[in-house]
Amino acid sequence: NSNTSSNKNTLDSAMLKVRIEHHLSHTLGDIIINNVIDKQCTETKKAYWHATSLALNEVITEKLNQSQLRQSQSACKSVNYLSLEYLMGRLLSNNLHNLDLYTITEKVLKSLGFELADLCEQGADLALGNGGLGRLAACFLDSLATLDYNAMGYGIHYQHGLFKQHFADGHQVETPDMWREFGSPWEICRPESTQLIPLYGHIEEVPQADGSTETKWTAGKTLKGVPYDIPIVGYNSSTVNALRLWQCRADSAFDWDKFNNGDYLMALEQQVHAEIVSKVLYPNDEHAAGQELRFIQQYFFCACSVRDIIKRYQAQYGALTPAQSEHFSSKVAIQLNDTHPTIAILELMRLLLDEFQFQWQDAWQLARKVFAYTNHTLLPEALEKWPVKLFERVLPRHLTILYRINEAFLNEEVNAMWPNNDNMRRALSIIDEGGEGNERKVRMAHLCVIASHKVNGVAQVHSDLVKSDLFPEFNQLWPKKLTNVTNGITPRRWLKACNPLLSALLDSEINADWAKELTQLSLLSNKADNADFQQQFMQIKHQNKVALTKEIKALTGITVSPDAIFDVQIKRLHEYKRQHLNLLHIIALYRRLLADPAMEMYPQVFIFGAKAAPGYKLAKDIIFAINKVADKINNDTRIHDKLKVVFLPNYRVSLAEKIIPAADVSEQISTAGKEASGTGNMKLALNGAVTIGTLDGANIEIAEEVGNDNIFICGLTVDEVKALDQNGYNPTDYYHNNEEIKACLDWLDSDYFTPGHAGALSPIKESLLAGGDPYKVLADFQSYSDAQNKLNVAYQDKKRWARMAILNTALMGKFNSDRSIEDYIANIWQLTPVSAN
């Protein structure tokens, strides 16, 4: 399983050392290398991290240039992935692994007195995303480069990524993320690719010589988009692609008139106003907040990206004319990562019509061949709807185009299928007419479905629900448009790089490059009952748990035993993900232990990592509750360390990389039908954690792969949830009929967990009872608790557990994001790979 890329020849350890020291002394300025320096101090480590990254970047940039040359010479089709979010994490260790330079760099740094792993920790996470959707984009870029496809990721160069989190008396506190504070060695600024973006202003109808009229838009303001490219290094491939992130600046920084009149501060006003557009990532996931700035962010991003796509096409193939339509769509695919970049459709249409003199039909046909859309959620509150009024004010020309798209769609396509049917027109229209006191809104998802040639969900059950529940009429109209591409994760970051011990074992067992051919791990199935192999596998899990134990101690002060079951729930905090179901069960366990201190129970540590959107009150209440319950339980000597609860602060990609290799149990307990796919479920199972979960999202496909003996399934199914919704869910029934549920919920009303503050945790009880809890926590409590009991018993049978853990690692091959990408290629993008050999 040797990595056969060509870097070995291009960079030996002597040269690497020279380059690192060169960057230390020259690029980074006056860093003392010969005198005595303190190699333990953070500043020194940061400098060496920086120098190592810069040295590596020379190799990467060269490969990037070669890739671009090769891709353009081959005239291959490319995909442009449009996403408002990329959760990249750290880049150094990943780039080293993908280039097969990790070991030699480790040696070089050792000779300089440093641990490479230690230096990697100095890098900031690129947290330009919220959660699943942003991390998926990052995994997809890794796979596209690994498989030698021509791909460009487009995104926003946020000055501040997702907020940092710490706890004050159990409450979440947010502080700004400053990822570029100490420099950012990976980015390449491309001023020559700057774009000017008009917005606001007014439109007028200008009469033409032939008697028709043309719409003319006079913008009121112009923004400047400056791109920064981050190289995306393929694993063991010849390709380095780019992630192009747009930074917003003022068209002209300075108002000289104001300056000369002595108004120095106001002279900078435009600059300040423009720069806020790419200032900060919106921290809400699964909730579409309707702020104007977010709308402008989306437009700015779409306009920069679409113009850049056209510019690159023209640079390679010449003028874009209507005669080139077929050709353009044979060379360019644009994928919309959820509806956040929907305006790209309108911007492409506007450019073709207004700047490239396309006729309507030519423009529309082209757009429909180019765009495809991925849906990531069914939650109504996450579906984007922007007020027509806002469109009218910020993007008046785009709105006229949107109206025309809608008219043509309703009058031609809808009318052909359902003649004179106003109900169908209302249901399918891009405009939500609102009615009674409600303003008119643009349904972004409808525009996406209408303009795209393919629409995909992200796991089979989710895609089925997209067809049956979200877009049933669209599915009738275009039965082949809606499809499924089950998500995946990159095994490079999520096994090879994050779990070196297990990787080494797999290297010795599997005679193939499993980090590329992940299905090869199924060969391990033969060894699932082999006592020797079980011992090695579980020994590694134990070592990873020891490492996490130290991390837990360092971050929280809590002592846990690496011999206990490490039960992990790591994901954004949301009611539908049901961290509070986990909490309720922990409280029940605690209560059982207090009632019967001799109760048979294998020690279990419940580990949480989660950020709550700053405006999501109940999510923050749940964080507070978990922290308070943890305080009480961890300090209660009566239960003899059988139960521990740890909430690790500031959950992020780099922390996930430490938790996942040490997990025994993976909590995936969303209400059935609510989690589109989940991807953390895949990462944990790949690293040998056994899932306890509902039949939701990709859990269903994980169960299919590992078999029902190697997963703990609990809770209602999608159909049962639907039935409960139809018959009326009554949580108070569960409260009154289940003594344990009642006792645990009532406990939250007392001041037991919050001494002196009775009622501090009551909002959680309220949310589960009053108003009927759409997430049906109490309905699934007993089933979940039973599954936890089985799991606890199963763990005590060492052989049985080892077998389950091994089979989970062995049977995750399907969830390689390379497979997801090949599905997109075959069903949606139709690209061919281009490699050096």
**Contact set with ligand 26Q (CB under 6 A):** 130-133, 136, 282, 284-286, 288-289, 294, 340, 376-377, 382, 384, 458, 487, 675-679, 697
Looking at beta carbons only, is 21 or 142 nearer to ligand 26Q?
A: 142
Instruction: Annotate 283-327 with three-state secondary structure.
Output: CCCCCCCCCHHHHHHHHHHHHHHHHHHHHHHHHHHCCCCHHHHHH
Q: Cβ neighbours of residue 325 under 8 Å, at least 6 residues apart? A: 358, 362, 365, 366
Q: Which residue lies nearer to ligand 26Q by CB, 19 or 294? A: 294
Q: Which is nearer to ligand 26Q, 57 or 679 (CB)?
A: 679
Marked catalytic residue, from 307, 376, 492, 541: 376
Set 683, 765, 776, 803: catalytic member: 683
Angle at the Cα of 302 from the Cα atoms of 298 and 306, rounded to 5 degrees:
180
Query: Is residue 784 within 8 Å of residue 667, measured between CB atoms?
Result: no
Q: Which of 583, 512, 507, 588 is nearest to 540 (CA)?
A: 507
Minimum CB distance to ligand 26Q, residue 486 (Å)? 10
Residue 364 Cβ, how far from ligand 26Q at the closest point, in Å? 26
Closest approach, Cβ 317 to ligand 26Q, in A, equals 33
Neighbours of 559 (CB within 10 A): 11
Q: Is 572 a catalytic residue?
A: yes
CB closer to ligand 26Q, 701 vs 780: 701
3-state secondary structure (DSSP) of residue 71 = helix
CB 154 within 8 A of CB 80: yes
DSSP 8-state symbol, 511: S
In the complex, the smallest distance separating the C-beta of residue 524 from ligand 26Q, rounded to whole angstroms, is: 26
The span from the CA of 584 to the CA of 601, in Å, is: 17
**Residue 85 vs 187, nearer CB to ligand 26Q:** 85
Q: Which is nearer to ligand 26Q, 382 or 501 (CB)?
A: 382
Burial of 214 (0-12, 13-18, 19+ CB in 10 A): exposed
Burial category of 194 from C-beta neighbours within 10 Å (exposed 0-12, middle 13-18, buried 19 and up): middle
Q: Which of 577, 644, 652, 803 is catalytic?
A: 577
Nearest distance from C-beta of residue 382 to ligand 26Q, angstroms: 5
Q: Return all residues near 508 (Cβ < 8 A) that are at least 6 apart.
A: none
Nearer to ligand 26Q, 303 or 791 (CB): 303
Whole-angstrom distance, CA of residue 340 vs CA of residue 349: 17
* Nearer Cβ to ligand 26Q (317/576): 576
572, 574, 642, 765: the catalytic one is 572
In angstroms, give the least distance from the CB of 283 to ligand 26Q. Answer: 8
Of 284 and 429, CB closest to ligand 26Q: 284
User: Which candidate, 603, 599, 609, places its Cα nearest to that of 562?
Assistant: 603
Kindly give the interhelix angle for 102-111 and 42-74, rounded to the nearest 10 degrees. Answer: 150
Q: Please report how close the Cβ of residue 581 comes to ligand 26Q at its closest, in angstroms.
A: 17
Alpha carbon 444 to its chain centroid, in Å, reads 20
Indicate the residue whose CB is closest to ligand 26Q: 132
Q: How far is the CB of 705 from ligand 26Q (least distance, A)?
A: 17
Residue 632, classed as helix, strand or coil, is: helix
- Burial class, 42, CB count within 10 angstroms (exposed 0-12 / middle 13-18 / buried 19+): exposed
Place of tokens 């003028």: 319
In angstroms, give the least distance from the CB of 694 to ligand 26Q.
13
Would residue 683 show up in a list of annotated catalytic residues for this protein? yes
- Closest of 576, 619, 573, 569 to residue 379, by C-alpha: 576
Q: How far is the CB of 50 from ligand 26Q (least distance, A)?
A: 31
User: To 5 degrees, how large is the angle CA 412–CA 352–CA 475?
Assistant: 35
As given in the structure block, the two tokens for residue 553 are 């101690």
Closest approach of ligand 26Q to the CB of residue 85, in Å: 6
**Which string of b and e fits 7-26 if b means at least 16 CB within 10 Å?**
beeebeeeebbebbbebbee
* Ramachandran angles phi, psi of 217, nearest 5°: -105, 125
Active site residue 577: yes
d(CA 773, CA 817): 35
Is 658 a catalytic site residue? no
Q: Give 215 or 827: the residue with its C-beta nearer to ligand 26Q.
A: 827
Q: Among residues 89 and 185, whose Cβ is nearest to ligand 26Q?
A: 89
Distance in angstroms (rounded) separating the CA atoms of residues 158 and 128: 7
Residue among 224, 571, 658, 674 flagged as catalytic:
571
Residue of 374, 679, 691, 754 marked catalytic = 679
462 is catalytic: no
Q: What angle do CA 81, 87, 90 make, to 5 degrees?
A: 120
Catalytic residues: 376, 571-572, 577, 679, 683
